[in-house]
Amino acid sequence: MLAGLLFSCAALAQPDVEGASDYGQLKRFPLSWIEGYRQGPTPEYLLMLSELKKANNIVVADKRKALEGELTRITYRIPDSHQPGDAFEHFRAQLMTRGAEVLFQCTGRECGSSHYWANDFFGIAQLYGLDRTQVYMAARLGTDYLALYAVQRGNRRVYLQLDVVSVTGGSELVQQLKAAGFATLPIDPAAPLDVVDPLVQLLAEFEPGEAFWLVLHQQGSDVQEALAQSGDMAKQIETAVRSAGVENVLGFGVGPLVPTVLAGRKGALVVIRSAAQ
């Protein structure tokens, strides 16, 4: 019986399509495999931030964001014993742990017709399923924007689609820091130094003499403990950034005292361009 069970489980996972690979920030759903894969530059990707609907024979969303960069498009087949929500939550939980910002999320018929998502947005016929089973999320993780969509077809096969647009050269964060004076980077409190490399790349786009404040926000039920921890992490990041050659930075920890910045995330690093040069 054990041998038969092991064989049946192994049979669920099929080989990935040739040349495919996972998005490096996320682990795939157990025993799933990649049925479709494409990677290349995109001059304009419209990330949908509201339900899809048809107006004047054109499928549109009232809210959307135009992106330019490198598109990675991955179509996962999920084992038949699971529902779309299982696979979706597997990816969503990882994104939240890594500090992603949710831009839009919908479930079931509130997303619009699955036909629109499959054929008009993704252009992947396998994603046409039952409206009530679909779930979609648009999110930002650093300089990457993600569209995550899961659905069950009428034949009960479950698919999960992951589109990742890596904004060219992190230009959007640079523009935000220049225009607004601040930019927010996701941070994992369990591995705060992971933010150092993208932070150094961001600050390298500015003149060497410019100064920046690194303000670390962290959730916590005990305010004093969260303040102390965020302060320690901010100083660790400051030291690492200085060691990388960017000297005009100061780190501060504010714990959970600015909850609107966290927006459900465990932590965030806000880079502020100092006005006092």
Q: Which residues share a beta bridge with 159?
A: 77, 151
Nearest to 65 by CA among 52, 46, 43: 46
The residue that leads in pLDDT, 33 or 55, is: 33
Higher confidence at residue 27 or residue 219?
27
Q: Work out the average pLDDT over 140-152.
A: 92
Class of domain 181-273: alpha beta
**Residue 72 amino acid letter:** T
pTM of the model: 0.67
Q: What is the DSSP string of 151-196?
A: EE-TTS-EEEEEEEEEEGGGHHHHHHHHHHSEEEEE--TTSGGGGH
List the domain boundaries for the chain: 14-168, 181-273
How many residues in the chain?
277
Answer for the pair 95, 266: CB distance below 8 angstroms, yes or no: no
Residue with token string 């006005």 = 275
Tokens of 74: 């991955």
Using the Cα atoms of residue 23, residue 29, residue 30 and residue 32 in order, give the sign of their dihedral. Answer: negative
Q: What is the pLDDT of residue 175?
A: 79
Quote the CA–CA distance of 208 and 244 in Å, as a whole number: 13
The overall average pLDDT reported for the chain is: 89
Helices then strands, each counted (H, E), the chain: 7, 12
Q: Give the residue with greater pLDDT, 268 vs 87.
A: 87
DSSP one-letter code for 50: S
Among 69-73, 188-192, 236-240, whose mean pLDDT is lowest?
A: 188-192
| 274 has pLDDT over 50 | yes
| Beta-sheet pairing, 249-255 with 212-218 | parallel
